[in-house]
Amino acid sequence: MTTTDHHRTGRARRRPGRAVAAALAAGLALAGCGSAATAADDDRVALTYWMWDANQVPGYQQCATDFEAANPDVLINIEQYGWDDYWTQLTARMVAESAPDVFVDHAQQFGKYASFDQILDVSDRVEESGLDLDRYQPGLVDLWRGADGGLYGLPKDWDAVGLFYNEDLVAEAGLTAEDMGDLEWNPEDGGSFERLLARLTVDANGVRGDEPGFDKDDVAVYGMGYNESGGGFGQVQWASFALSNGWTYADRNPWPTEFAYGDPALAETIGWYRSLIEKGYLPPLAVATSGIGTIESMGSGSYALLIEGAWNARAMSELQGVDIGIAPTPVGPTGERASVYNGLSDAIYSGTPHPDEAWRWVEYLASPACQDVVAEQARVFPALTASSERAIAAFEEIGIDADAFAVHVEDGTGTLPPVTDRWAEIQAVMQPAMDSVLSFQAEPDSLVAADDRVDGLLADD
């Protein structure tokens, strides 16, 4: 369930074992850092920096060390909390007025904190320092614009989703990497993508989904896995299909006034998506949510293909016993591919006693010096265009085809997640609504009623 929660809000954690190892490594690094601090003079301003991804701590620790060398008056303490506790902890610390001076922020969370004035607006400081916002990948800066037009963070990294597939299973089905990169889908007959899923699905008797005698009730390998219904976001489930079917989340972004869950294009997409469950190419929702995790199921060969985020590319490539290839999401009825294009930022807590030092640190995090260090770690794609390219090269070096994600930036086919301060309430409506549809307890057109409730929430303001 923990992984499911991650996906629900858009980010996934790596396998716990390695996360723990990284956290231990970070702890050691911090311990070393601490002793250095006592040795140095005590006039240094100590800034606390929070992040949730343990795997990224070593890269940012390097940034902190470099920053401290250039800024002898500042000390950076990196603290890492797992995603599950991160936001609750952060809220509690804001209430206690002792929140971290700088913290990693998520597009779906920032609206809430910005509307409660918990994040510092940095637009004046950006102007003062003459920071060039055009050097970031397109759209990433706008993700952090408040309803009042202020800028509530500097972009840190970006991600997109792709098709992760089991290379052996694809080869056994008689398909090549070229086939995987050249897929299209449509809501009528599913196109070459659905034919691929049929081919990849194998029942307990070894009969493929596109062969006569296929038993859809006794499937050994599902063509595609998924972890849950995706609620109102569907980032690693249905969003790539809906977005390439001409749908988009809301009337405008950021700060939508109406969501589009009642749009027939979404109902059509979801209707097709769940028809794949009926055909046996995808597991039933009960089975999908009952599993320990999609990545583990990929590792055990139960799923042939998975839509996953770039942030899990490294974890997937390190799965034991399976070789994973990555292809871009299929082309849809719009004639283009689509993916949620999400990003993180570094935000400054409005109650920090050291806003100037915090700004220097945030500016450094958003600079080529730090983002290149992060790029070399080949974990995420930094927000700076130049650093992004370095990360793509670093990914290629360890055998991960990062172009599958980068294509969305090049072609402009990424869609930013909806930014609103009511996201938690919207999910509270959309999660059960989408669960009902994908478990066949309700029809796709029931999303219209859910959409009305969501718009009712927004109208409350």
Q: How far is the CB of 11 from other proteins (least distance, A)?
A: 16
Encoding tokens for residue 267?
């109902």
Sites of contact with other proteins (CB under 8 A)? 1-2, 4-5, 87-88, 91, 94-95, 112-113, 116, 118, 228, 284-292, 296-297, 300, 302, 424-425, 428, 431-432, 435-436, 439, 441
What distances in angstroms separate CA 105 from CA 17, 109, 157, 163, 388, one per listed residue?
A: 25, 7, 11, 26, 19
State which residue, 67 or 261, has the beta carbon closest to other proteins. 261
Nearer to other proteins by C-beta: 119 or 384? 119
Measured from the CB atom, the residue of 232 and 332 that comes closer to other proteins is 232
Bridge pairing between strands 45-51 and 102-106: parallel
Residue number with CB closer to other proteins (355 or 432): 432
Name which of 250 and 285 has its Cβ closer to other proteins. Answer: 285
Q: Which is nearest to 63 in space by CA: 374, 360, 386? A: 374
Nearer to other proteins by Cβ, of 202 and 310: the residue is 202
CB-nearer residue toward other proteins: 93 or 195: 93
DSSP 8-state assignment for residue 222 = B
**Cβ at position 106, least distance to other proteins in Å:** 13
Could you tell me which residues come within 8 angstroms of residue 398 by beta carbon, excluding any fewer than 6 positions away? 314, 317, 378
- Least distance (Å) from other proteins to the CB of residue 391? 32
Q: Smallest distance, Å, CB 99 to other proteins? A: 10
Q: CB 64 → other proteins: shortest distance, Å?
A: 28
CB of 87 to other proteins, least distance (A): 8
CB neighbour list of residue 279: distance below 8 Å, 6 or more residues apart = 198, 209, 216
Amino acid at 303: Y
Smallest gap, in angstroms, from Cβ of residue 119 to other proteins?
Answer: 11
Beta carbons within 8 Å of 450's beta carbon, 6+ residues apart = 261, 262, 429, 430, 433
Amino acid letter, residue 100: P
Task: Count Cβ neighbours within 10 Å for each residue of 336-348 and write b for 16 or more, e otherwise.
Answer: ebbbbbbbbbbbb
Dist. CA 111–CA 199, nearest whole Å: 43
The answer to whether the CB of 418 falls within 8 A of the CB of 256 is yes
Q: At its nearest, how many Å lie between other proteins and the CB of residue 81? A: 15
Whole-number Å distance between alpha carbons of 215 and 202:
9
Q: Based on CB atoms, which residue is closest to other proteins, 25 or 287?
A: 287
Query: Is the CB of 132 or the CB of 217 nearer to other proteins?
Result: 217
Cα separation of 422 and 106, whole Å?
14
Phi-psi region of 190 (alpha: psi -120 to 50; beta: other; left: phi over 0): left
Q: Residue 424 Cβ, how far from other proteins at the closest point, in Å?
A: 4
Give the ranges where 158-293 is alpha helix by DSSP (H).
167-172, 177-181, 191-200, 239-243, 264-278, 285-290
